[in-house]
A and B are shown apart, each in its own frame.
Chain A
Amino acid sequence: MRFVCKLRRMAIALSLAATASLADAISVESLVGAGTWVRDDHLREMSDILLFGHGSFIDVGMYYTPLPSQIPLKSEFGEHQGFAFRHHFAGFSSTEISKGYFLGLLLWFDRYGWDGEDFFFFPRYSDFGHVSSVTTWGLSFTDAKHDWTVAAGMQHQNLEFAGDFFPAENDSLLYTWAELRYWKFSAQASLHRANVKSLRLSMNLEDRPVYGGKSSGIRTYLPNIDATIYKRVIGGFDEDFVRVHWEQNLFAQRLYAEVSYDFPDDGFHSAAIKYYPDPSRLVGLEVSCLRRRVYDDGWDDLMFGWAIELPVLRIGYNSATDYDRLFHAKGTWIAELQFNLQSVGEFLFARGGRTSAPIETNTVKQKNKQSEPQGTGITLPASSQTQAPLTATGVRYEKVDAGATQTQGGR
């Protein structure tokens, strides 16, 4: 027993030494306000999938931080040890309803928050926990011949559990969304009742071989730019802002630069250099820089980080993507167990991939089919193949006289 206690203390000491000195706590505000960005992530990912409008896509993943001191929660009472979590699932499937016309179904789901224990299905709902979920679904219709897509659906944001010191918030919010794409241009809107919450205009000019474009040449160096108008309230006043995101191929669809800039007042948000050894994007490396801002205190600084993405694992440290997706967590290693794969025709690639994954296809030929030994299974005599097909005799009814049934006790 003493040995177990010693082990436990050692583990705690090691965990504290390894992470607590570096990790910054996430704030209650970033946790409570995360729903807006989770919904936006869903719509942004859907927009990328709908660039082609057919094929299929699956994505499943969860952030994993093994130590409770890695992402503590900062409340008015102090720093609580526990776990920030974000579990996600996404799926898109389409079917050809008529030649060149595709009907698609989109389903995105995220469960996110912070709790005293890590979990997969059942949270502990500790006194200071906050558990929410966002479900986005929609239907899409694509005319492949004229290259346009229309899609629409709903977003449900549900508050599952909130501890006592979290501010009061609506426990169930319903949004609608719609998207229209023609060729490489798309418009996407998110609405709450009749109020537009965000409006995104995108142009993805870069040629993607998986979507029928060229794999080299000047057209693969055209930019992908989107501008999103977000509704925001600061200090009781509407302070809308526009975030412009620019993705630029720098070299052979393997090296990319990304910049996000907020207009009119906030300025630079983040930038990243991403390198994909293969344009299918199953493996990726990124270095990023993000400008952190605290409006109330009026300060900002630059945070540099990096991440490695492998087919089932993503590891990052101060990466801009993780900072935005995991409630502004920084100063600690963040692992994400994840898998995503998109298919279009015979092409297989990861999210945002430009070419098909280098997967080897082996064609297995059946050899010596004629000389296969007979008699290993049931074989019909040769004569039976020429005979008329067998007919089922079915259920045979026998007429029973009334006296007999009565003596047997009726039905």
Chain B
Amino acid sequence: MKRFSIIALLLCALTLTGCLSHWFTDSSTRLQVENKTERVFVGLDIVSEDGYTTIPWIRETLKPGERSRVYEQDWVGTFKIRLLFKSIHEICRINIETKERDCTAMYDQVSHTPLEFEFDGGSNYMILTDNEDGGVHILMH
């Protein structure tokens, strides 16, 4: 009987591990991004408050209309994020005599001023759409 009591007590104590809060909260955030813009999405970073340090969260190339895999991280709380897009420029070589143009594409990553977001944990679905002003609109579900 004593042995059963000790086992029951131990089981009770073990169930205290993380379960108390898990009834209603998540301790990690699962993030998925859908790119509905006309740009090429290449990543998402967490940026420190002073703007100097960045920690990558998502590194995946999404062409317009594509959806990313789900990336789970321990970012639960209020943080600043920035999105990375691929910017394409043309570099052309021009023959002076024939005036022929030989062009190639130059890729560059562009980002924006970090924006503050609140992550409550659990699944988050981020939809990126083009704005009328030429920017990107972020919608979080």
Contact = CB atoms under 8 A, between A and B. Distances in A.
Nearest to B24: A11
B18 A124 contact: yes
Given A81-B121, A82-B27, A120 B79 contact: no
A127 B17 CA distance: 17
Contact of A78 (B74, B77, B121): B77
Contact of A77 (B13, B80, B120, B121): B80
Given A117-B22, A120-B13, A78 B73 contact: no
A7 B120 CA distance: 15
B48 A116 contact: no
Given A12-B120, A82-B27, A126-B27, A117 B18 contact: yes
Interface in B30-72: 46-50, 53, 55
Given A76-B53, A77-B49, A116-B28, A127 B73 contact: yes
Given A68-B76, A126-B74, A127-B74, A76 B49 contact: yes
A66 B27 contact: no
Q: Chain B contact residues: over half helix, strand or loop, or mixed?
A: loop
A68 B25 contact: yes
Contacts of B46: 77
A79 interface: yes
B53 A68 contact: no
Interface residues of A, number: 28
A122 B120 CA distance: 23
Given A12-B24, A77-B55, A80-B77, A119 B18 contact: yes
B93 to A, nearest CB: 44
A83 B21 contact: yes
Interface in A114-139: 116-122, 124, 126-128
A257 B135 CA distance: 63
B78 A78 contact: yes
Nearest to B48: A76
Contact of B17 (A67, A122, A128): A122
Given A116-B27, A116-B28, A78 B18 contact: no
B132 to A, nearest CB: 30
A125 to B, nearest CB: 10
B20 A81 contact: no
B17 A116 contact: no
B16 interface: yes
Contacts of B23: 11
A353 interface: no
A76 B50 contact: yes
Interface in B1-22: 13-14, 16-18, 20-22
Interface of A: 7-8, 11-12, 15, 66-68, 72, 76-83, 116-122, 124, 126-128
10 contacts: A11-B25, A12-B120, A68-B76, A77-B79, A116-B28, A116-B76, A118-B20, A119-B16, A120-B16, A121-B16
